[in-house]
Amino acid sequence: MTRRSKIPKTLFKRYAGKRVVLVNGRVVAATNDAVMSYKIAKEKYPDKKISIFAVPKKEDKHLLI
């Protein structure tokens, strides 16, 4: 069984088009580059499990299923 990260409701509004990293349900990095976001998060929280994903832009909403 996998454990899902809690996604903040404001995430889609505040971070549209960004690559976001969550640690314990909190945004710890958000940039336009996934590798950069990952590096920032790992520097801050080297021993924590992180979740990273791309937040779609509002105009890409129709692509979501």
pLDDT computed for residue 65 by the predictor: 53
pLDDT computed for residue 61 by the predictor: 62
What is the length of the chain? 65
| The model's pTM | 0.73
Q: What is the pLDDT of residues 25-53, one digit of tens each?
A: 889 999 999 999 999 999 999 999 999 98
Rounded distance between C-alpha atoms, residue 17 and residue 23, angstroms: 19
pLDDT band, residue 2 (cuts 50/70/90):
low
Mean pLDDT of the chain: 83
Q: What are phi and psi of 19, to 5 degrees?
A: -100, 115
